[in-house]
Amino acid sequence: RPSSSGCRSAMVTMSQNQSYSASVNAEIEVHLKQAIPMRPPLEVFEPMNHFSFGAPRTTAPALCVAACELVGGQRDQAMAAAAALHLMRAASFTHEQLPLTDRPRPKFRPVTHHAYSPNIELLLPDAIVPFGFELLAKSDDPAQDNSERILRVMIEIARAMGSQGMVEGQYYEVERSQSEGEGLNDVGWIVDVCKKKEGGLHACGAACGAILGGGSEEEIEKLRKFGLYVGMIRGILHGVGRKEKGLETTVEELRNLALKELEEFKGGNLEAISGFVNL
């Protein structure tokens, strides 16, 4: 059942894809720098810049743009959503790193340098999340008549970041980090966390891109699944699963499942989006 031809084609285009996502990421960064200028009060905007641009990059924003282009949309139609996705994840990442009184450092999380006090690390993400929604709301353009699409994308992003998305994945992590007896190499647990965190974020990113680009409901759902598998691969290879050996087969299965979702799409940038399975 897996589409081996799609898989080969993805391998071939890996380097093209890296330049595709690098160029998309550069555009997203320009968009964000304009949205978050360094201006007074610097006590606010200096850390806001730090947390917004210092957080690890995820591929979900670039995937959002790729999905938009795949269904025939223009890159700029997805730019605000891509920027918002980056900001939301940067905010949730900052809270993940926040040292709390009685929280031992979870073993599966890298130790990060804290440039600011815990107070600032607590407060600023609380400002970044609404700001992400504001960016989206401001991308409303009567000339494009895109209000309904933007409102739908806001619901998508709210759910992906919320209590049954990112926060649920973080809850699984916290729960596990507090149960000393259990190891962290439980494959089922790793897959669950990756599904909720990176999986949910990328599923959302791809679906939002398809919505904003004017995709059909069928295209939106196919791209949502594609994003879910891509995100799970990311989580397994670079997130909570990165130290676990023996997930190669799972990753390969997820690649095949992902590429299968793309089979009915025709178009110029199919290669670009296929390559996300190998990023």
Which residues would be at the binding site for a second copy (CB under 8 A)?
A: 41, 43-45, 48, 88, 91-92, 95, 98-103, 117-120, 122-131, 133-134, 137-138, 140, 142, 147-148, 150-152, 154-155, 157-159, 161-164, 166-168, 170-171, 174, 178
Based on CB atoms, which residue is closest to a second copy, 118 or 267?
Answer: 118
Q: What is the DSSP string of 205-223?
A: HHHHHHHHTT--HHHHHHH
In the complex, least distance from residue 162 CB atom to a second copy, rounded to whole angstroms = 4
Check whether the bond before 41 is cis (ω within 30° of 0). Answer: yes
d(C-alpha 225, C-alpha 204), whole Å: 9
Based on CB atoms, which residue is closest to a second copy, 4 or 119?
Answer: 119
In the complex, least distance from residue 155 CB atom to a second copy, rounded to whole angstroms = 5
In the complex, least distance from residue 106 CB atom to a second copy, rounded to whole angstroms = 10
Based on CB atoms, which residue is closest to a second copy, 41 or 110?
Answer: 41
Based on CB atoms, which residue is closest to a second copy, 62 or 91?
Answer: 91
CB pairs under 8 A, 24+ apart, for 25-31? 25/57, 25/61, 25/62, 27/65, 27/75, 27/79, 28/61, 28/62, 28/65, 28/79, 28/82, 28/83, 28/86, 29/53, 31/79, 31/80, 31/82, 31/83
Q: Within a 10 A sphere around the Cβ of 272, how many other Cβ atoms?
A: 22
Q: How far is CA 74 from CA 10, 22, 151, 153, 248, in A?
A: 23, 17, 19, 16, 35
Based on CB atoms, which residue is closest to a second copy, 132 or 215?
Answer: 132
In the complex, least distance from residue 66 CB atom to a second copy, rounded to whole angstroms = 24
Based on CB atoms, which residue is closest to a second copy, 16 or 117?
Answer: 117
Based on CB atoms, which residue is closest to a second copy, 62 or 129?
Answer: 129
In the complex, least distance from residue 12 CB atom to a second copy, rounded to whole angstroms = 39
220 in Cβ contact with 212 (< 8 Å): no
In the complex, least distance from residue 145 CB atom to a second copy, rounded to whole angstroms = 10
Based on CB atoms, which residue is closest to a second copy, 6 or 199?
Answer: 199
* 216 backbone φψ class: left, alpha, beta (φ>0; ψ -120 to 50): beta
Secondary element (H or E) of residue 148: helix 147-161
In the complex, least distance from residue 139 CB atom to a second copy, rounded to whole angstroms = 9
In the complex, least distance from residue 45 CB atom to a second copy, rounded to whole angstroms = 7
- What value, to the nearest 5°, has the Cα angle with vertex 41 and ends 35 and 44? 70
Q: How far is CA 272 from the centre of its chain?
A: 17
